[in-house]
Amino acid sequence: MPTYDYCCDSCLYKFEHFQSMQDDPLSTCPECGESVRRLLTGGSGIIFKGSGFYVTDNRKSGKKPEAPKADPPPATD
Ligand SMILES: [Zn+2]
């Protein structure tokens, strides 16, 4: 379910609203009742689709994954 950002042209109140794609967009400001417009934000929610996680993975990929029970390090001294 996407979150939409709205901004009121009249009182400049900004708010977010969860709604499904099928719902009509809000048209009135909950603060002053004037008309609001929906902001197109490129979507913080869309980042969830995975790229953020993959970036983290790539950064780690050079390292060995840390196993929960690691072997004791060889005593080379
Ligand atoms: Zn308003």
Calpha distance 73→62 (Å, rounded): 19
In this model, does residue 55 exceed pLDDT 80? Answer: no
Could you tell me the pTM of the whole model? 0.48
Q: How far is the CA of 39 from the centre of ligand 1 (A)?
A: 14
pLDDT of res. 3: 83
In this model, does residue 15 exceed pLDDT 60? Answer: yes
Residue type, 68: P
When pLDDT is cut at 50, 70 and 90, the band that residue 42 belongs to is low
Calpha distance 8→29 (Å, rounded): 6
In this model, does residue 51 exceed pLDDT 50? Answer: no
Q: Report the first-to-last Cα separation within the chain, whole angstroms.
A: 58
In this model, does residue 57 exceed pLDDT 70? Answer: no
Q: How far is the CA of 11 from the centre of ligand 1 (A)?
A: 4
Calpha distance 11→34 (Å, rounded): 8
